[in-house]
């Protein structure tokens, strides 16, 4: 059987696998990315991207196409059967400090086409459609996989295999990795519609109708599209709810079915599952292969994209000998608590929505309506960042202040790319060494920073170091930060005590 060699085998070319491939390709890592299907799935699945994820997807070449085919939410509201506001979230402005909208409702096929086009430009990455993973086994420090392609089976020897192959991941099942079930399992009918007569939107508001008689989600998506999610009642079967007549009756309180064309109808079980192990030697999981969450927070694809951004620079550092295996152990240590926190929030929101007991709903309403209405609206939900892998608490996302002069401003991310970033008041031996090792250095005075966010972040210190996934690693003296960063790469642990050992 024919055998090929590569550094990374990526299984699955959804948005997470494609973004991971681009990140690795930008760093010169050799990879083979396989996908069992020929074409991008033509119908929307994920619907929401937050500002942080748009920024990460920009680094992978997918955000501009998405931005042209997306629309922001004006608010996200939970209302009871009487239409009263239980709670809601509203953005504080058009753009977040990252330079992207706080919340974008988008068209997933548009994103996938853009990411695959960017991936095709990566000379070190081979993209193979209609190729499926049959099996794999560990071999030395890496793996040996058997793949079935249109011209028959062949083997791939790789240092790492990354399963980005969804909830039914072959990579995960072959590794024998089990899920931690967080106790949420509810059946919902998902209906994607195209608006007729040139209508671009039914609403700019995302609504959760918390009606115990029939919980319903009504969500604007990309322009010209709208999604309804309808909870199945006890005893209902999928065949009871998927007909045109049943759908028209269920969405009648919220929209005129005759003004909509149903693009997709499917019953899903909304799960809350987290893999117990995300890395087993050379076997790594990302995206839905590693975790699944109910959609009530719109963070499923966002979380998978963060996985790819967290993982790629670590794989490259290990492959190039700048880091030890401990750095890859930090992947789950950093990402799982973040995912678990988001999943718990999504489950909590889901329990508000999914209440089908009338008395329990009455008590829920009374408790939530006791607060004044203006206290029930908060800024658009922004999830906290990672708690480890950084020197300073809080897991802040670095702002993008732009680059160049005030008259020729572009994104700092465009200049830096997917790389660690050091912003300094003055260049030094440490900053030059950092640039020489593949990092990007910018001088504070060359950045427009019209909002003053970067200046506020640095304060009276000399520098700020930002990770490739755009979390703030730390602020302080450039030499101290660079030493701490190198120690983190070596040990997978970021703390002030490691600086002395660097």
Domains in the chain, CATH or no CATH each: 3-68+105-180+272-353 (3.50.50.60), 181-271 (3.30.9.10), 412-499 (no CATH)
Strand-pair category, 279-280 with 283-285: antiparallel
pTM for the model stands at 0.95
User: What is the rounded distance in angstroms from the CA atom of residue 104 to the CA atom of residue 67?
Assistant: 8
Helix axes 51-59, 300-319, angle to 10 degrees: 40
Could you give the C-alpha distances from 94 to 75, 91, 98, 259, 414, in angstroms and in order?
Answer: 12, 7, 11, 30, 21
User: What is the per-residue pLDDT for 499?
Assistant: 46
Token pair for 3: 């055998």
Could you tell me how many helices (H) and strands (E) the chain has, helices first? 14, 23
Q: Is 382 exposed, middle or buried (0-12, 13-18, 19+ CB in 10 A)?
A: middle
Type and span of the H or E element at 115? helix 108-119
- pLDDT, tens digit only, all 502 positions of the chain: 899 999 999 999 999 999 999 999 999 999 999 999 999 988 778 999 999 999 999 999 999 999 988 988 889 999 999 999 999 999 877 788 898 988 899 999 999 999 999 999 999 999 999 999 999 999 999 999 999 999 999 999 999 999 999 999 999 999 999 999 998 989 999 999 999 999 999 999 999 999 999 999 999 999 999 999 999 999 999 999 999 999 999 999 999 999 999 999 999 989 999 999 999 999 999 999 999 999 999 999 999 999 999 999 999 999 999 999 999 999 999 999 999 999 999 999 999 999 999 999 999 999 999 999 989 998 876 677 899 999 986 679 999 988 754 444 589 999 999 999 999 999 999 999 999 999 999 999 989 888 899 999 999 999 999 999 999 999 999 999 999 999 999 999 987 544 444 4
Quickly list DSSP for 151-165: TEEEEEEEEEEEE--
| Buried b / exposed e along 34-68 (16+ C-beta atoms within 10 A) | bbbeeebeeebbbbbbbbbbbbbbbbbbbbebbbe
Residues 6 or more apart whose Cβ sits within 8 Å of residue 352:
78, 86, 87, 208, 210, 364
Residues 353, 296 contacting (CB under 8 angstroms) = yes
User: What is the per-residue pLDDT for 406?
Assistant: 46
User: What is the rounded distance in angstroms from the CA atom of residue 194 to the CA atom of residue 23?
Assistant: 34
User: What is the rounded distance in angstroms from the CA atom of residue 463 to the CA atom of residue 445?
Assistant: 12
């Amino acid at each position: 059987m024919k055998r090929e060699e590569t550094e990374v085998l990526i299984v699955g070319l959804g948005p997470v696998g494609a973004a991971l491939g681009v990140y690795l390709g930008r760093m010169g890592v050799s990879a083979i990315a396989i996908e069992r299907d020929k074409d991008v799935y033509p119908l929307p699945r994920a619907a929401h991207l937050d500002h942080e994820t748009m920024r990460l997807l920009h680094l992978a070449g997918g955000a501009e196409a998405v931005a042209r085919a997306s629309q922001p939410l004006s608010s996200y509201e939970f209302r009871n059967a009487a239409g009263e506001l239980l709670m809601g979230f509203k953005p504080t402005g058009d753009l977040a400090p990252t330079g992207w909208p706080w919340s974008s409702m988008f068209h997933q096929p548009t994103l996938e086409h853009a990411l695959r086009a960017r991936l095709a430009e990566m000379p070190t990455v081979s993209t193979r459609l209609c190729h499926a993973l049959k099996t794999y086994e560990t071999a030395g420090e890496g793996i040996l996989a058997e793949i079935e392609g249109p011209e028959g089976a062949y083997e791939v020897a790789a240092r790492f295999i990354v399963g980005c192959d969804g909830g039914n991941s072959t990579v995960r099942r072959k590794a024998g990795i089990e899920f931690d079930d967080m106790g949420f399992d509810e059946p919902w009918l998902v209906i994607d519609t195209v608006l007729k007569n040139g209508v671009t939107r039914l609403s700019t508001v995302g609504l959760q109708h918390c009606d115990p008689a029939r919980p319903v989600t009504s969500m604007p998506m990309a322009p010209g599209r709208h999604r309804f999610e309808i909870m199945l009642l006890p005893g209902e079967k999928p065949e009871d709810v998927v007909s045109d007549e049943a759908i028209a009756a269920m969405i009648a309180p919220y929209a005129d079915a005759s003004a909509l064309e149903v693009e997709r109808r499917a019953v899903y079980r909304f799960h809350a599952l987290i893999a117990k192990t995300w890395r087993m030697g050379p076997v790594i999981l990302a995206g839905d292969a590693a975790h699944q969450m109910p959609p009530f927070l719109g963070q499923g694809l966002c979380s998978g994209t963060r996985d790819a951004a967290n993982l790629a620079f670590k794989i490259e550092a290990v492959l190039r000998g700048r880091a030890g295996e401990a750095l890859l152990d930090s992947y789950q240590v950093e990402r799982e608590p973040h995912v678990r926190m988001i999943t718990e929030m999504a489950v909590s929101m889901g329990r508000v929505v999914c209440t089908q007991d009338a008395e329990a709903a009455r008590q829920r309403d009374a408790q939530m309506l006791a607060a004044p209405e203006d206290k029930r609206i908060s800024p658009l939900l922004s999830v906290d960042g990672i708690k480890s892998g950084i020197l300073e608490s809080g897991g802040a996302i670095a702002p993008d202040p732009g680059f160049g002069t005030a008259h020729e401003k572009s994104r700092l991310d465009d200049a830096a790319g997917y790389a660690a970033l050091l912003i300094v008041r003055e260049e030094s031996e440490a900053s030059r060494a950092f640039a020489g090792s593949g990092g990007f250095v910018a001088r504070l005075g060359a950045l427009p920073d019209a909002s003053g966010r970067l200046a506020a972040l640095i304060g009276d210190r000399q520098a700020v170091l930002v990770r490739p996934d755009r979390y703030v690693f730390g602020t302080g003296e450039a030499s101290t930060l660079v030493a701490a960063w190198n120690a983190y790469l070596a040990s997978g642990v970021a703390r002030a005590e490691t600086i002395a050992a660097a």
